[in-house]
Structure 1
Amino acid sequence: MELSIVVLVLSFVVLLFLNVPIAISIGISTLLTMLFTIDFTPAVMTLAQRMAGGINSFALLAIPFFILSGILMGQGGIAHRLIEFAKVFFGMLPGGLAFVNVISCTLFGAISGSAVAATSAVGGFMVPAMTKEGYDRGFSGAVTVTASTTGLLIPPSNVLIVYSLASGGVSIAALFIAGYIPGLLLMAGLMAVCGIWAKMKGYPVGDRIPFREAVRKTIDAIPSLLLIIIVIGGIVAGFFTATEASVIAVLYALALSVFIYREVKVNQLPQILVKSVETTAIVMLLIGTSTAMSWVMSYENIPQTISDALIALSDNPYIILLTINLILLIVGIFMDMTPAVLIFTPIFLPVVTELGMSPLHFGIMIVLNLCIGLCTPPVGSVLFVGCGIAKTTISKMFKPLLPLYAAMFVVLLLVTYVPAFSEALPRLFGLYE
């Protein structure tokens, strides 16, 4: 078994350093590990079967629809309206544009379910606006990058659906509701840093928006904000499942973008569909290969070995949870969120449940933890998109990123050690398992 672990880890790391796409790296390292205990033909057949089984899930049907709705929203003028809505309440405060950036990224990320989409859509408007008002591009980009991850906690979130699959069936509705308080805590933590940074740098205060204009901008944003109420309200009330909600999200986003805001033309729809199919294919390949790797690790008894080692490390649950968080933070630096959730959930879930942590609570913890990885080099996809949008470099973003990382880590510790932040709302709505 020790040799299998070495082969799995070493081959995966080497392939990553050779810049092999992560899904292919996972698949090849999984096959190489299988070959130590299984002949070639059965190993290939087993790999194919496990990959096919990994994506053969009704719950995963929600992912392509949420991806499509997110792309429609990104091109449908929703980001601009959410930014104008946030300016009504926060634009006149010291560092107000930074607050507007955080809130807009949170709202758009929650509606679209994509951190990359939030970075692109909101950053495309906010970074030039902040630069024009005298904000540093590095700070503007750093705020956009970190704030965009909050939407992965506030539903609808594809990664929470993936966690439901990896954990063996934690309720998607419960996970969706559980993400609200941690997501809002993360937003508040980032806003606190923005306020302190803006005060230190003497960034300007925006003008107060006249009442009539404020009302108009609020009314203009209401159709966009209603999507959250329709999708999440319908799931909680039991009118439809998360998968059915994803289809409703597509229909609503289509009506909003094409017929109400009229920023997406009918002749653009084929291109949008192709883009959503390409993104879905990448995500499903990641899910398939990651599921196969999880099976190999289970076959080689790797999760149990790691679980025993962690429990033997200390009898203090706080130390063990801190250790798990530190491991996941390191993992997040080098691995994308979807495969990390699929691979490490089966490893750490038995450990935390033995400590008394619920699978629901752990799901929010692991997603919040890996959100930090999206903002860190060398693999952080959101970080590189943010650099491109802000037209700056990682080195110029690094200094303002440090206090934002610190805020995210503090929120992570709060969510880890205070179960009520994750479990209070599911209990309130009768969804707690």
Structure 2
Amino acid sequence: MTIAVIVLVVLFLLMFLGVPIAISLILASISGFLSSIYYVPLEVVPQRLLTSVDSFPLLAIPFFMLTGEFMMSGSMGQKIAGFAFASVGWLRAGLAQVSTLTCMFFAGISGSGAADTAAVGKMMIPMMEKKGYDIGFAAATVASAGTIAVVIPPSIPMIVYGVTAGVSIGDLFTAGIVPGILIGLSIMMLNYWLTKKNNYSQENTKFEFSSFKKTFFEGILALILPLIIIFGIRGGIFTPTEAGAVAAAYAFIINKFVYKDMDWKDIPEAFIKAGKMTGMVVFIIAAANLFGWLLTAEQIPQHLVNLVTGFSDNRYLILLMFTVIFFIAGCFLNASAAITILTPLLLPIAIAAGIDPIFFGLIMVVNLSIGLITPPVGLDLFVVKGIADISYDKLVRSIVPFIVVMVVDLLIITYFPALSMFLVAMGK
């Protein structure tokens, strides 16, 4: 336990000093190796970094990243947004509702919260500001809706958890469908209430079936991509990794040869952007895996199991404990890093308490999605801050109601597991 204390102190000190999370995890791990009473050659560090990401399922990450880039290089994104306008743009808080629904559609394609937030934010935040919405509300709406991307499949954090825990990524994807829709609808209801309370702009339009029909058929090739991914995986047609490759190829073909609005020069740029984002995520996964391996070697998971089960074997209390741990971790750690570190530590406790590993992964991912909008390191907050050009303090004040609503959703998902797991059971 002494080594665990040392590495945790080093980790938080480095993070406090602003050292990138991946580098902090590696340096903290090295401090643990040097503090051990056993000789641990430092050659272990590069070996573990490489072997931890030598995984076929992790190839799904660059493919889904590339899918998102191809989607935004052509008009697929605009066609999805156009259908969202026709569907909910006439409601109270119309543009806010469009932002949320567009994020939900994008979530079914890219699996990256930051990427979806950036794509939708660039389109919708300036438009909402021109229509009289408070800029803090506009930014908070897009940031919170962007978190849905890591819940609705395909989800990159779910892929990371599936690889780390050794469970079915397809089952995880299926379990995330209902929670993602629940969170999206909750954000839309909050949008309605805040707009009415603060008398923000109200769109003076009516629902037009002709516009709905027109935009649906214009965007149907983009809208069915999430269905291809989900039904392809659940039907056993392809693996999650193959689904990512199919999705990327599909997005390229539709934009280039059907919509014909994607230039050949856009392709290298899409690969470069996807490669940069993939490199960042995979580097964090590798560093977190090294850190988690050190803690496991020091038998920290076994100590935790004994501690928790000795305190209580009530699964509801244990679920509450998990919720608190994940929420705190999400405030300071990237979702992929938190999953890679916490899964080996806490999954044995969950199994001992009779909690399904798929459900455990779901509540972990949903909880960590909230971390995208919680200070001090919420990634979506910094994305929309740059787009909206507002102070961090104002943005944090504006995001608080959305955090509260998402925490309520989290508790519903946590304590009513059938809400999420019935689709998984149906697919067995």
Map of 1:241 onto structure 2: 239
AA aligned to 2:30 is L
Check the 8 A contact 1:80/1:122 in 2, yes or no.
Answer: no
Map of 2:2 onto structure 1: 3
* Secondary structure of 1:57's aligned partner: coil
Identity of aligned residues (%): 37
Check the 8 A contact 1:119/1:385 in 2, yes or no.
Answer: yes
Map of 2:258 onto structure 1: 260
Check the 8 A contact 1:181/1:422 in 2, yes or no.
Answer: yes
Q: 1:206/1:112 Cα in 2 relative to 1: closer, same or farther (>3 Å)?
A: farther
Check the 8 A contact 1:91/1:206 in 2, yes or no.
Answer: no
Give matches, 1:50-89, under 5 Å. 50-89=48-87
Give matches, 1:343-354, under 5 Å. 343-354=341-352
The Cα of 1:284 is off from its aligned counterpart by: 1.7
* Secondary structure of 1:112's aligned partner: coil
Map of 2:16 onto structure 1: 17
* Secondary structure of 1:374's aligned partner: helix
The Cα of 1:77 is off from its aligned counterpart by: 2.6
What is the TM-score of this pair, normalised by structure 2?
A: 0.96
Check the 8 A contact 1:97/1:206 in 2, yes or no.
Answer: no
Q: Does 1:198 align with 2:195?
A: yes
The Cα of 1:393 is off from its aligned counterpart by: 2.1
The Cα of 1:319 is off from its aligned counterpart by: 2.2
Give matches, 1:168-179, under 5 Å. 169-179=166-176
AA aligned to 1:387 is K
The Cα of 1:326 is off from its aligned counterpart by: 1.0
Q: Which of 386, 403, 406 is the matching residue for 1:405?
A: 403
Map of 1:275 onto structure 2: 273
Segments of 5+ residues of structure 1 without an aligned counterpart are: none
Give matches, 1:122-141, under 5 Å. 122-141=120-139
CA–CA separation in structure 1 for the residues paired with 2:109 and 2:208:
27
Task: Figure out how many residues of one structure are paired with residues of the other and give that number.
Answer: 427
AA aligned to 1:198 is T
CA–CA separation in structure 2 for the residues paired with 1:259 and 1:208:
35
Map of 1:36 onto structure 2: 35
The Cα of 1:247 is off from its aligned counterpart by: 0.7
Map of 1:145 onto structure 2: 143
Q: Does 1:189 align with 2:186?
A: yes
AA aligned to 1:188 is L
* Secondary structure of 2:375's aligned partner: coil
Map of 1:231 onto structure 2: 229
Map of 2:353 onto structure 1: 355
Segments of 5+ residues of structure 2 without an aligned counterpart are: none
Structure 1 residue ranges (4+ consecutive) displaced by more than 6 angstroms after TM superposition: none
AA aligned to 1:31 is I
The Cα of 1:209 is off from its aligned counterpart by: 5.1
The Cα of 1:38 is off from its aligned counterpart by: 6.3
CA–CA separation in structure 2 for the residues paired with 1:259 and 1:246:
20
Check the 8 A contact 1:179/1:422 in 2, yes or no.
Answer: yes
What is the TM-score of this pair, normalised by structure 1?
A: 0.95
Check the 8 A contact 1:65/1:246 in 2, yes or no.
Answer: yes
CA–CA separation in structure 2 for the residues paired with 1:53 and 1:421:
37
CA–CA separation in structure 2 for the residues paired with 1:77 and 1:311:
53
The Cα of 1:181 is off from its aligned counterpart by: 0.6
